[in-house]
Structure formats: structure tokens, C-alpha cells
Structure 1
Amino acid sequence: MKSAVIVYLPVMLVFLYLPQSFGQENNAIRGIVKDRVSDDPLPGATVYWEGESQNVVVTDTAGFFMIKTDQLPRLLVIKFVGYGESRRQITDKEWDKELKFFLSPEEISLDEVVVSDKREDHHVVSTEIGKNTISASVLKSIPALFGEVDLLRGIQLLPGVNTAGEGTTGLFIRGGSADQNLIQIDGAPIFNPSHFFGFFSVFNPDALHDVQLYKGNIPAQYGGRLSSLIDISLKEGNTQKIRGEGGIGSISSRVTVDGPLFSENSSFVVSGRRTYADIFLGLSSNENIRNNSLYFYDLSGKLMWRKGEKDKFTLSSYYGADYLGLNGQFGLGWANWISSFNWDRNINERTFFDVAAYRTHYNYLIAFSDEDSGFDWSNNFSETGLRGQLTWLADDATEIRAGVHSQLYHFAPINLAPAEGSEIEEINTNPRTGLQNNVFISGIFNAGPKVSLEAGLRWSQYQQIGRGVDYLYDEDDPIGNGSIRDTLDYRFPQRMQHYQGIEPRVAFRYLMGEGLSLKGAYNRNYQYIQIATNSSAGLPIDRWVPAGRYIRPIKSDQFSLGVFKNLHQNQWELSLEGYYKDFDNIVDLKQGATMLFNDNVETEMLSGIGWSYGVEFLLRKNIGNTTGWLSYTWSRVFRKIAGINENEPYNPRFDRPHDVSLVLNHQLSRRVRVSGTFIYTSGVAVTFPIGSYKLDYQRLPLYGPRRNEDRFPDYHRMDVAVTLKNKDKGRWWKGSWNFSIYNLYNRTNPFSYQFTDIYNDQINFAPGPGQEIESVRPGVIMTYLFGILPSVTYNFEF
């Protein structure tokens, strides 16, 4: 810990006290462009001096711009698609001020205004490969389960992203498992991003600004996961007036309010959502149903404050919780609490410094009320981090980033406390703590009109530290007979184990012609914490395990190559990407593994190698009355781990070779929009029994040594939705209705198969007193979750 402080302190001081004149532009005008109605910044607006339309600058993600001039006064022109033009005379009194410009939306436009911080041909000219962006407005237009707009379900429609099956929000990206995705909110990671056991994600769409998915070339400033970065930013409140939006849906309602806080230099946004399934349960005439509880809720907020023209501070927080209670006998609850603080400083026009501090905490509790076997089972884990980054725009073609990042992981002991009088014995495991320090540097360089290069290097250094326990095994082999010969106890902060790794990142872009480019990338990543679980769907009680004496960090190397093309004046985007990724020290559980209350989990985990490869096609239209995309992915995933599948390669459950997604949105008129999605994927890989046997008069399935050599049937589904806006009568309240149908043609996609005896040819027959058994045969019972499912949501804004 002390060594990290010694290394980081001088680096942070250098960042903070760089000379203010470094890279200073004395012959430039600075300003910010905003929407006059919402006060949101307008990234991607064009700015130029009258008579010099060939020398255009574009506003950045915060709506900020800087434009050079040799003399004043001059007339400045600002334009943005879907907004009225701004023309303003700039005098010599405004050299040293940050100017504000407000553009008004054009009411005559029928097309949806797309606000983007990228130039129209960014898809082709950037070095980005394996990256997709989804705005909050696009997410809201996609038909949703129960009418509940869901971020992770929207991401599932992108190429290279698979799921474990119906009713889950777990993401399996380019052959990686769900825990290999870094999902962060305003820079703070989240451990469990789902509500309702994976049916919904924890993200309220009204609180989001945008979402960026990196799956090919993850920037050097991010690390700790192998497969992807899902970077989610909460929107900031406007500084002009109080406004709000929300919705009342089939199973939940939500509301978001934002506005100025103290002055035009500060703002707030508060968002809340709650389901009311428990209310409907309470109305049931069945007492067993009436006494059950089932609900989730989440709250998020963000404060913004600007100090002068150089400093901006934001404080974000999210809290979400779920609870399931069954007739007062069983209860299960879990919660996420995430907070982050960000300080952005403009040292000068070309140098920027960012500091972020965060803490994310996850906990769950299971309670079982019974005189003989009652217990309370609880656990929690957390990550605390500090990140500092310096960005230097050396010139219009070169950008350099460098910084440091420290992370402290703490996995508390799992505690099972028996109820009074219970026959269950108390169980406690030992805590686990990890400290990770990272240093990174990256740059984007234009080596001419055709070639652009992005290169980065990240060094990660991880230590498992005390308080904790290491078990020593006979022949140093925990997988053998698991016989413990000694125990080593460590106090805080003694080092228990140490790992480190160099993570190079490089990408290039070569322009082959008008609107056509070739891109490639290589990425190496290390992951020091992972989930060890028998389930691939993702459960609230999944066990996170840090690297230690017997569990090594996972390493992956990914190579990707793609062709990118824009068509019809950049209205259409076309891409074809291929990738190959290998994994080292990938882990899986041995047959019959027990993880939940096991303090020496290394006796249940096997490690080996893995690899995945695939081709991704994407055709996307972002402009016009009709928008959407068509994606197709062909991919394969393999693992080879000694002790599993007779030591031969096998497919994990989420290996789904074919995946097709079609998303369409069409604006019929100013008031009516229709949308639809179609999904087709190969069935998940599973293990079916090779026979059966009887035990205590019950038939049980018999499984062979081979793993995941069978498959579910192919999955396909179509969803549709219609949004009808109420007539705008000039009132302060505006509303709209969304009517959606999930699984339009009532496809019965299997969720699970049960291999069991079927009595009297009735799958629901339960033998018992007075229930005569006339026939019995072995059979297979298929369970599916959703047939055709209509829903309605009323959305509003004020």
C-alpha cells in the first residue's frame, strides 16, 4: 500500500501543477454550444467564421469548441442538424472568455434529431473497431418485455453479443463469460447489473445519456476484464429550468426530474423506479399468494457544479434493491450501491486533467424461517478506486493520454447464522482482499491522409493481501484429494500473492477510398477477479473469487480485422469484422462442484485454455424517418481444461454459432412511430442425460463424461411496438402511449428440460394419498417462460 502511494503522489502532483502556459492558444475563441430548450450540450455542431466555411471546427462531447482567428471583430456561424443557425458578432473584448451559444430546435422537422459528438463519416475515418454506441432515445424505441425498456436487452441486439437464454440479461461477448465484461456507471463498476433474477437490468433509461460498448479495441485507460467495456454515462441536469419525464407501465413506474440547483453553473437530476408486482399479489384471494412479496426499485442522482471556466465537478450515485419473500418462510434480497466523484479541469485549450474516485458495494441476504432448519445467510463485497488522467492535444492530429488507477477489492466472509433452535451448524468463510495498481499511456496519431494509428500500453500489478488464510495441500495439489497439510494466516496488509502483466493495445485505420477503410487491432487484457458458479444465467448469489496462490489471473489476446464503408452520403453504415481471441488460465468447475460455503474454492476449480473466433456483419441506418440495423454473427467458442470432457475441447453453454438481429424504427407521422425487432440464434449448448436410474423409487437422469455436446432448439422471436404521442396543445404536460407485443407469433422457446417419470400421461400429476398411479413412463418436460405478451406504457414529460 505504501509503495503505491509513493509512486502515485509525484505523478498526481505533476498532473495538477503543469504550467498553465503549456500549449496555450492566445489567438483563439472558446465557447460551448447548447440546446436552448433542454440546456443539453450539442456535441458535433459545426463552427466557422463567416466566409471561411472550409475551415470548420466541431464541438466535443461537452459541446465545447475552440476556433482560431487573427483579428476581431468577426462574425461567428454555428450550425447543427435539426436546429436553427446561430450568427454572432465576436468582439476583441471576448478573447479570454468562455462564450455560450444556444440553438433552438426547428419545429418543422419531422425526422428525429440525432445528437452526436462524431463527424458524419466517423464510422470510417476513426480507429475504432469493435465499438458500438446506443443513445437513450434509441433504447426507448426498441420493443421491450412487459414494456420495460432495458439497456442490456438493447445491447444483446448488437453483433458479437450472445445470451444464455430466454429471460436473462447476462452478456457473453466474443466468447467471454458474463463476468468478463466491465460494466461501469460514470466510471464506477457494477457487480450485478440485473433485477428480477436477470429479467431486467438495473439501468433506468430516463437517467441515461448514452452507452458505449467496446469489444474489439478497449482503450488503455480501462482494464480488469477480458471481453468488453460497457461504459454508461448518466445524464446531467439542465441549468435553465425544472423539467421531468417518466412512465407508468405494466409492472413498474418511473420518474426523473432535473434542473438548475443554485445557479446556471450547477444542476441536479434525480431518477427513481419501482415495480408493483407485490401490490397485485396482495390483492389475490389466495392467502398463500397474498403473503408473498416480489419487487425491485432503484434510485439514482447526479449533481454538477462548474467553478469558473476551467473546473467541473460531478457527483453521481445509484442504489437499487430486489426482494423476494415466500409466505413469510423464505426471503431473498440483494442490493447495489454505487457512488462516484469526478473532477474535470481544463488546464488550457489543449491540456485536460480528470480525477475520479468511486466506491461500489454489493450485498445479499437469504433468510429461511423454520423451527428445525432456519438460518440467515449474508455476504457482501466491494471495490474502491481512484483514477487520474491527463489528456494532451498536441495538435489537430495527435492526442496523448496518460494516467494511473488504483483499485481495492474486498470480499467479506460468507456468514450462515442458524436461527435459534435450528439444527444447522454455523458456517463462516475467510475474507479475501485484493489491491490492484495500474499505469497507462496511449496516443492517437495521424501518419498522413490515409493512415491513423492508436497505440497504448497498460501495466497492471495485483496483490492478494491479508487479512486472510492460505491452505497448503499435500503435493501442493488442491485438485487431488484436497488434503490440507497446513494453514497460513495473514494479517492486514501482509502480501499473500503477487501478479503483474503488461497489456499492449494497438489499432490502425487505412483509408482505401472514398468512404471505405480497413481497420485492425490487437488487445491484451488481464483479469484478476472472476465468478465461479454452476450457472451461466447469472444469479444474485454468484461467488466472486480473486486471484491467489492457486488461482492465477486470466489472460486473453485478441486480434481483429474489419472493413468499414459508408453509403449514400453517410446515411448508411456497413461493417464486416473478424476476430480471434485466446484465453489462458480460464477456469471452470469440476463435475459436482460445491462453491457456496466452501472456504477452499481452489479444490473445486479447474483451469486450462480457451479460444473463440467469429465474423460480425452490421448494416445500420441512423438518419431519416426509417432507422435501425441488421446484424449477423457467426462465432464459435471452445475450452480445453484437464479433467473436463475427457480432456478434449468442449463448448461452453453460451456457444451459439449463428445470431441474427433486425431492429427497425419508422416515424409514420409527427405523432406515430412503429418499431419492431426479430431475433434468431442457434440453441445453447447443453448436456442431455445418456440414460436414467432409480433411487428411492424415483427415476434420476444419468450423465456421461462428455460436456455440452447437445443443443436446445434454435431460438427465434419477433417483438413489435407502436408509440402514439398525444396532441400537443401547448400545455406544460406532454404524454404518449406505447403499445408493445413481446413474442408476436407466440413462439415456445425452451427455457429448460426436465428428465423425469411421467405418471398417467400427465406432466402435472403428483403421486400421493388417494392418487392412483395407472401408468408410468420416462419422459421429458419442456418449460418455456413467455408466450405472446402484450403490454402498455404511458410516458410523460413536463
Structure 2
Amino acid sequence: MIILPRRCWLFVLIFLFSLGGYAQVPTEILFTGSYKQAPLTQVLEEIQAKTPVRFYFKPEWVTNLKVTQSFEREKVTAVVEALLENTDLEAAWYHNYAVMLFPSAAHHPAIVYKDNEGKPLNRLLFGLPKNAQEDKKVVLRGKVTSAKTGEPVVGATVSVPSLAIGDQTDANGEYRLLLPMGEHLVSYKSIELLPEERQVGLYAAGTLNLQLYQSVVALNEVEVRADGMNDRNVNSAQLGMNKLNIGVIRKMPTFMGEVDVVKSVLLLPGVSSVGEGSAGFNVRGGGSDQNLLLMGQIPIYNPSHLFGFFSVFNPDVVKDLTFYRGGIPPKYGGRLSSVLEVQQKEGQNTKLKGNGGVGPITSRLALEGPLFSPKTTFLVAGRASYPNWVLHSLKDKQLSQTHAAFYDGNANVTHIFSPKDKTSFNSYLSHDSFGFTQDSIYSWQNIGASLKHTHSFSEQLVGSLSGVFSKYRFGIQDQDSTNASKFSNGIWSASIKAEGNYDARQHQLGFGAEGSYHTFQPGKLEPASANSGVNPITLTQNQAIEGGIFASDEYTITPQWTVMLGLRYSFYQNRGPGPVYVYAPGQPKQERTITDTLSYGSGEGIAFYHGLEPRVSVKYSITEVNSIKAGYQRMRQYLHLISGAMAVAPIDFWQTSNTHLKPQVADQWSIGYFHNFSGNSIEFSVEPYYKRIQNQLDYKEGAELWLNPTIEADLLPGKGRTYGVEVQLAKKQGDLTGWASYTYSRSEIQVNGTFPEEQVNKGAFYPTNYDKPHTVSIVAAYQLTKRLAFTSNFIYSSGRPTTAPIGLYMVGGVEVPVYGDRNQARIPDYHRLDLSMSIEPNHRKDKKWEGRWSVSVYNVYGRQNAYSVFFRRDVGAPPQGYKLSVVGVPLPSITYDFKF
């Protein structure tokens, strides 16, 4: 028996493998022996003493193995097979009488070769070469994590270049490759991390987990791609999807030093905003409420801090984001325009670590690490603001009396029960307060939590079960002595979702079901003191259940043809208790035309809606570097945001679909051409689209939205249409990286009711409040040195529509303006340049503290962009237009980010 010392192990392995092609198994050698609970090492020593056979293995592989067997002149090959029958070892014969003992691939992920110093080499063996079968394929799977943080690396490329086979790591950092048996060089690459390679002898299914280290030179920092593969934008059937890594987002210029996920989305094609200080964003001409925002799995109903200047997503807990504006998978539903899913980080499992930052307006801190054991990890993060010192220093008297603040917190706990089972708990809390004076305080709050368990049934089938809770509440507190009052509105929801994914080689199958329960509070006003003259008003709460079942299949028909098929069936029921008003037939809906009131009891169904939502996209590859894609999708939206403003505002409220308000339904068609240049380092795409919307809401002239019990009488359903084209050119490699995009987009609505009061602009199509025909975005990053980088953003967009006065008339001696048709005028165009510089730390693997400085200037040339316009008439002159600018000066900031 030969127990290999560390310094000889590598030499013997190389020698034996070099002779592997000439392996012979002795057939005539016989062996006799009888054993009872004898150590396996003793038996092997006796075989070596009585025969010319020699064994090679590591001592830890045979520790505690006992033998109770008898052999009487049996062939030594049969003896070795019998000895290993109930163990985790396999035997391979080399050059007549040399026997290698290996851990079985079914019990050990791989054999790791080491050099003379004991360091792992880049070669691993799964199974034995003697078991190789021509034309048979096996699975290599594993997980890619960051060596620095221990977190899963999402979107990493794992490929075998010689076979042109690859995969992208998922949200858990996991990958799966189906490869023929044999020797393969596997490549691992990811943004900001050093690439790695492993030489793999794959003769059985195996698991290869890998850690990637931080790159000293941070190239490709502003990369925008549809997937982790270099040519995935050409070869995937997915339309209208982008992924952004948090490293990309951190490099972008910031507003007052705060990294912002939502503002990074505004730089993507097809996305716009009505202006600075607006909370939401508009996608392909859709409203702000038509976007589904998910923090993990938690829906966010108001994504803003400080009325839209900051978003609710803390960059310290963000791993990456996936943004769909077309080709939305059927597992998502409930919104018409887009899905923004922000993936949160999980705590790393090696040791306690932290990171944070200090800026002129906000500071933040995050801690993560193992909780009691490496199988349980946690992450907690908090962020707080202190903008009052800036507001109080302003010369404007009204602004100097303004006070504002926000804070938010995230907590995550993840426990791995086994390689097949994992449970994660996520929670979120945020709070804002704002006031122009000390008398009136505006406040709003988001609360959310989710619990998800994931189970791997097999290598092909993975399933998950999730429970989610989310609540949004807005309030106004008026402390005036005579009219002290408290106002509130909000929405809360609870949901459960089961989802599965099955990998059937050419077919990637997904399926699942979900259900939600919603409660809407449209408004409640109550006196805040005994002396208040305010009369209490409470609008009836609305309840609803929403659900859906879905299935999808990504079918690779040939290398040229791929099709993604999806189908979702959704349903919605508005439920009691509550009243439903009956309006007189043949008359417009008004409070005075109510003829009856129907009362429904608790849980009683009021209105029921349902329907199919097909999704399909097809890809045809013209060559290896260019392709054509086409797609269609139908979406249904059962929740409506009632807003008198052009963007999401805290005073807005969510309203259920009911007897009078039907759900919105959108059908979208798109086609695209995709082309890569210079070895996939430059990507070009052009994607036209057309969308048709049913039951899109607008408002009557003079609509009353505040505490209105008959709100449906002031809402007008219409037909919407949006159309346009998105063009993008992205450079992904080199010292200079970035992208430029141009979007032409039109958004129009037609409100043509039965009565004149229910028509807008005489029933003709007119621009929506967020119609912005032209949008240009340019993002560029230049890596000057290993640690010094510069980034710039430039944005241009057409001015949004507004309604302008066209004359005056006299009523009782008072001049009253006459307004023209709705949204036939426009505010001035918007454009802005931002610059930033970042100084990176060196990336030594053993560094205990890292600091990073970022200096940025928002609105470099001080453009006074108009958020809105108003009209005022001076005596003896016609009405004049004036614009309101929220940020009209350059705003410099400096931020210090740190890790430990």
C-alpha cells in the first residue's frame, strides 16, 4: 500500500494519468484472506504483500473503513470490487498493477489536485475516465460567490469556449451546464471580478463551486446587457429587457451624493420622467402607476423619498436589478407597462462585515455575516437623511422654513437547511415627513416583508413557495388651532405564490400560481383636537382578491430559431362590505343622478373580472452576430392610481376595479433588430413597438378627487395608444465604456363618452400628461487609471404637454381665463448634464478597510428645467406664462463609501 505524501501526490497523479491510455487489469492473480472488522488499510497491505498490486490513495479517504469478508483464491479484481462495494470509493487500474482509489462522484463533488505547497490546482476530476461513454452528456453545476463578501454572483458567465456552450448564474449564483463526457476548460467571468478557469475531467455529474476575487481594474462598469452571455442580446429570444449590476449604478453621477436605482433606470431606452422631483417614471408612454416595482418580492406602492428626489432602494442592500418593458414573463402580472425587480443581497457566511457611506444629505450603514453558524446569515441596513441644514440656508423665505427627513431599514435572514433547501426572510420599513410650515406635516410610510422557501427536487426541477405582506400609508397632520385635523389613505396587501422551473434541455419550463388579498383606504379625515371645527369623514374601505396561474416555455428549436411562449390567466373580485351607487340610465354619472344604493355584506362578491394574458416572442438568428426578434404580450391591471398630478404624489390613492371602474387591458406588439460588432464588445439594437390600452382613465373638467365618495363620477375611461422606436448603441469593453440611446415615443388617449361632459377634446385623440416624443440618453465612463474613473450622463427630452389659456371673459366684473383643448401646449424641453469622479481603493485580498470617494456635479451648466408652467395676467397685458424649476443650479456633492 502506498499512502501518498503531499509532495509526491501531484507527481504520481501526473504519471498515472499519462499512462491511463495503456491501463491493463490483471486477470490471473488470485488472493486468499479472511477478515472480521479489520481496517481496510490492513487488507490492502496484505494484498500488496501477497501480490504485485499497488494501491494509491489519500489516507483520509479510507479512515474508519472496516472489512468483514473472506476470500478463497479469488481474482484480485473481484476482491478489490468487493472491498469497495459498500464504501464511497471507486477503483481505477493503471499500467498492469497500479490501482487508484477515488471518492465516488456521487458522494464527493470533485477530486482537487494540489501542488507541492498544498495549494489547489485548476484541475478537477468528476468520475473516472474508464467510465467515459461516447455521445453521453452529464451535468456540471455549481454556485459562484464573491470571495470578498461571500455573496452569490448574479449574471456571471460560465462557459466552455471550445464547445460554444454557456450559462448565466441566476439570482442564487447558481449555474448548470450540460456537457459531453471528457476534458473541458470551463471559464468564469463577471463584471468587476477577476476571471477564473478550471480544467475539468467530466466523467460523471458533478458540482463545482467557485469564488471570484475583486478586480483591480474595474472595466465594463457601465455595461448594460440582456444577460450574462457575451452574445445573449443576439441569441436570446427576450425582448425589451435590461439588467444592471449595482456596480454599474454606483458609477453613475448622483443627486446630492445618493446612489439611486430609479434614476439609473431613467437612462435606459423607453423610460422617461415628467421632471425633477417626480416620484415615478414612465415606460413606453405608460403612466407611473402602470409599473410593477418589486423589492425582492415585496411590491412597492410609492417608490419615493422626499417627493421623488430619492428612491426607497438602499444601494447597500441591492444586488442587481432586472427591468422589463417588453417580453414580460407570465409570472408577473397586474401592471401594463413594465416590471422593475430589485434583487436584494443575502448576508455572507464567513465573518462579520460592514459597509456604508456618508454624504451631504444622507448617511447609511449595513452589517452582514453568519448568524450562529455559516448555514444561517443575516444582513441589516439602515439609512437616514438630514436635509434641513441645506433647506434652512436657502434665501427663499418659504423654502427656508421647510423641514424634511426620511429613514429606511432593511433586514434579511437566510438559512440553508441542505444543498436542496433554503429559506429567506426579507423585511423593509421606510418613513418620510415633509412640511412647508410647522402647521402642516406630510408623512408616508412603506412596510413590507416576505418569506420564501426554495427546494431542489432534482437537477432539473426547482420549486419555491413565498408569502408576502406590503403596506403603504399616507397622512397629513394639520396643527392649526381651529382646524386641527388628521388625514390618511393607503393600501395593504398579502399574497402567496408557488413557482417551479424545469430544465428539459431544449425546453426551459416555468409554472406557478399566486393569490393576493387587497384592502384599500381611499381617505379618512378626523379632527385632531377637541376644539377643532373639522367634521370627520371616512370613505368606505374596499376589499379585493386577485390571483393568477401561469406557465412558460423557452424552446430552442434550432440554433437559429428560439421561441418563448407564455400564458397567464388572471382573475379579480371586488368584495364587500360596501355600497354600490346606481346611476340613472341615459344621464351622465353625477352625484345628483344617483337613483339607488346597493349594499353588500362582508366577503360578498361585488364585481368579477378575469381573462387570459398570452405572451410570445420569437428569435431568428440571421448570422452569429445579428438576429431579428418579434413579440406580443397582453397585460391586465386591476388597480388604479387616482392622481390629479402628472406623476406619483403622496396624496394620490389606489382604487380597486369595481362595478363602475373596469380593469385596464393592454396589448403590445414589438419587433427588433440586434447586431453585435467587434467580438461582441459593441451592441446595437433598434426596437419599434405599438401598444393599445382599454379603459385608461382620465378626469372630467373640474374633477374633485379629495374625499369624494362618488369618485367614479369624475373619472372617464378612454382608449389609449402608444407607439415608438428605441435605438441603443452600447460599448462594453475597454477603458471607455457606456451607451447612447434615442427613443421616439408617443402616448395618446381618446375619451369619447356618450355625453358632452364625458368627452375630452370633442372625442379626438390627444396627448397624455406624460407624452414626450423625443428622449436622448448618453452614459459614458472612462477608466483613466486603475483607481481613477470618470463618468458622465446627458439627458434630453421633449417638454411634456400642458393646457394653456387662450383668452379671457368677464363674469360679474371678474376676469376668467378661457383654456384651450387639453394638453395642446408644451412646457420647454428638458436637458441636463451630470459629471462624476470616483477614486477606488486598491483591492488587496487581505485589506480590512476600504474607502471610496465620489465627487459629482448634478446639472453641471445650471439648466433651469421647467417642472410645470403657470399663467398670470398683469394689468393691461395678456396672460403670460411662467415656469417653475425645481433644480435650477449646479448641485455638487462628495460622498465617502467604506467597507470593512
- TM-score between the two structures when normalised by the length of structure 1: 0.88
SS in 2 for 1:504: strand
Question: Secondary structure of 2:770's match?
Answer: coil
Which residue in 1 is equivalent to 2:526? 417
Aligned to 2:477: 367
Find out whether 1:749 has 2:859 as its counterpart. Answer: no
Q: Aligned to 1:732, what secondary structure does the other structure show?
A: coil
Encode CA deviations 1:479-521: one digit per residue, 9 max, x unaligned: 2564222212212210011111111111000001121000010
Question: Distance between the aligned counterparts of 1:127 and 1:362, measured in 2?
Answer: 36
Residue 766 of structure 2 corresponds to 650
Ranges in structure 2 where 5+ consecutive residues have no aligned partner: 1-135, 753-758
8 Å CA contact 1:184–1:190 kept in 2: the answer is yes
1:543–1:595 CA contact under 8 A, matched in 2: no
What percentage of aligned pairs have identical amino acids?
34
- Give the structure 1 partner of residue 210 of structure 2: 101
- Rounded Cα–Cα distance in structure 2 between residues aligned with 1:746 and 1:674: 20
In the alignment, the residues of structure 2 paired with residue 290 and residue 690 of structure 1 have an alpha-carbon distance, to the nearest angstrom, of 36
Select the structure with the greater relative contact order (CA < 8 A; seq sep ≥ 6).
1
Quote how far apart the aligned CAs of 1:60 are. 2.5
How big is the shift at 1:328? Answer: 3.3
CA offset digits 1:12-46 (Å, max 9, x no partner):
xxxxxxxxxxxxx9954543232322223345666
Shifted more, 586-595 versus 54-63: the winner is 54-63
What whole-Å deviation, never above 9, does each CA across 1:212-235 have from its counterpart, x for those lacking one? 111111101111111111111111
Candidates 148, 151, 158, aligned match of 1:37:
148
The 3 A distance-change label for structure 1 pair 105 and 481 is closer
Check 1:69–1:58 CA distance in 2 against 1; reply closer, same or farther (3 A cut): closer
Work out which of the residue numbers 600, 606, 616 in structure 2 matches 1:490: 600
> In structure 2, the residue corresponding to 1:219 is in which secondary structure?
coil
Q: Match of 1:791?
A: 893
Deviation at 1:115, TM superposition (A): 11
CA distance in 2, matches of 1:753, 1:56: 56
Q: Deviations over 1:685-736 (max 9, x none)?
A: 11011124578998654323x1000011111111111112356797522212
Question: Relative to structure 2, which stretch is displaced further, 775-784 or 514-523?
Answer: 775-784
Deviations along 1:580-625, one digit per CA (max 9) or x if unpaired, are: 1001111111111011201111110111211111010011122222
Deviations 1:224-265 (A, max 9, x none): 111111111111121122222221111111122222223222
- Counterpart position of 2:426: 316
Q: Give the SS at the match of 1:646.
A: helix
SS at match of 1:352: strand
The amino acid that maps onto 1:267 is T
1:299 is matched with: 409
SS at match of 1:152: helix
Q: What SS does the corresponding residue of 2:247 show, helix, strand or coil?
A: helix
SS of the equivalent of 2:285 reads coil
Distance 1:323 1:238 in 2: 34
Q: 1:431 — aligned with what?
A: 541
Contact 2:695 2:717 in 1 (8 A): yes
| Counterpart-to-counterpart distance in 2, 1:426 and 1:89 | 73
Structure 2 residue 584 is matched with structure 1 residue 474:
yes
1:330-385 per-residue CA deviation (whole Å, 9 max, x = no partner) reads 11100001111111111100011111210110011111122322211122211111
Distance 1:285 1:156, change over 3 A: closer
Q: Which amino acid aligns with 2:866?
A: P
Cα distance change, pair 674–755 in 1 and its aligned pair in 2 (3 A): same
1:34-183 equivalence runs, <5 A: 34-43=145-154, 53-54=162-163, 56-58=165-167, 60-61=169-170, 62-66=172-176, 77=186, 79-80=188-189, 82-83=193-194, 85=196, 87=198, 98=207, 100-105=209-214, 107=216, 118-183=228-293
**1:673 alignment partner in structure 2:** 789
CA distance in 1, matches of 2:332, 2:380: 28
Partner of 1:724: 839
Task: Pick closer, same or farther for the CA change 1:240–1:424 going to 2, 3 Å.
Answer: same
Partners of 1:223 and 1:497 lie apart in 2 by: 19
How far residue 141 of structure 1 moved from its aligned partner, in angstroms, is 1.1
CA contact (8 A) 2:356 2:363 kept: yes
Once the 2 structures are TM-superposed, how far is the Cα of residue 668 of structure 1 from its aligned partner?
Answer: 0.7
Question: In 2, Cα distance between the equivalents of 1:549 and 1:44?
Answer: 45
Q: 1:648 to 1:501 in 2, by over 3 A?
A: same
What is residue 711 of structure 1 aligned with on the other side?
Answer: 826
| Mapped pair 1:449 → 2:449 | no
* Map of 2:496 onto structure 1: 386
Question: RMSD of the TM alignment (CA)?
Answer: 2.9
Q: How many angstroms does 1:140 deviate by?
A: 1.2
* Letter matched to residue 375 of structure 1: S
Does 1:624 find its partner at 2:734? yes
3-state SS of the aligned residue for 1:485?
strand
Q: Deviations over 1:450-505 (max 9, x none)?
A: 11001111111111011221111222756256422221221221001111111111
Contact 2:186 2:197 in 1 (8 A): yes
Residue deviations 1:74-121 (CA, integer Å, cap 9, x gap) = 8875543653635477799xx788553334445477675979962111
Which segment drifts farther, 485-494 or 172-181?
A: 485-494
Give the counterpart letter for 2:731 in structure 1.
Answer: K
User: d(CA) in 1 for partners of 2:781 and 2:487?
Assistant: 47
Residue 573 of structure 1, CA deviation? 1.2
CA distance in 2 between counterparts of 1:84 and 1:752 reads: 49
What letter matches 2:891 in structure 1? L
Shift of 1:536: 1.1
Task: Give the AA of the match of 2:571.
Answer: Q
Alpha-carbon shift at residue 290 of structure 1 (Å): 8.5
Asked whether the 8 Å contact 2:224–2:242 carries over to 1, the reply is: no
Offset at 1:524? 0.5
The equivalent residue for 1:3 is none
CA distance in 2, matches of 1:115, 1:413: 40
> Which has the greater radius of gyration?
2
Q: Which amino acid aligns with 2:853?
A: W
SS at match of 2:611: strand
SS at match of 1:265: strand
Structure 1 residue aligned with 2:318: 208
Q: Which moved more, 1:730-739 or 1:195-204?
A: 730-739
Q: Secondary structure at the match of 1:414?
A: strand
Alignment CA distance shift 1:127-1:477 (3 Å): farther
Gaps of 5+ in 1: 1-24, 760-774
Distance in 2 (CA, whole Å) between partners of 1:688 and 1:340 is 47
1:751-776 Cα deviation digits (max 9, x unpaired) = 232322458xxxxxxxxxxxxxxx98
| Distance in 2 (alpha carbons) for counterparts of 1:54 and 1:75 | 9
Aligned residue identity for 1:784: S
Instruction: Tell me the amino acid that sits aligned with residue 451 of structure 1.
Output: W
**What letter is aligned with 2:684?**
L
Distance change (3 Å), C-alpha of 1:699 and 1:146: farther
Alignment map for 1:128-277 (pairs within 5 Å): 128-277=238-387
Cα distance, 1:389 vs. partner? 1.1
Q: Is the 8 A contact 1:304 1:315 kept in 2?
A: yes
Is the contact made by 1:153 and 1:169 (CA closer than 8 Å) also made in structure 2?
A: no
- Determine if contact 1:701/1:756 at 8 Å carries over to the other structure: no
2:463 corresponds, among 341, 350, 353, to 353
- For residues 892 and 216 of structure 2, the distance between their equivalents in structure 1, rounded to whole angstroms, comes to 33
> Is the 2:223–2:244 Cα contact (8 Å) retained in structure 1?
no
TM-score (norm 2): 0.79
Q: Is the 8 A contact 2:222 2:738 kept in 1?
A: no
| Aligned amino acid, residue 793 of structure 1 | T
Q: Is the 8 A contact 2:216 2:842 kept in 1?
A: no
Give the secondary structure class of the aligned counterpart of 1:525.
strand
Count the aligned residue pairs: 752
CA distance in 1, matches of 2:142, 2:866: 56
1:398 corresponds, among 503, 507, 513, to: 507
| Conserved? CA contact 1:254–1:272, under 8 Å | yes
Counterpart of 1:782 (choices 879, 883, 893) is 883
1:782 is matched by which residue type in structure 2?
K
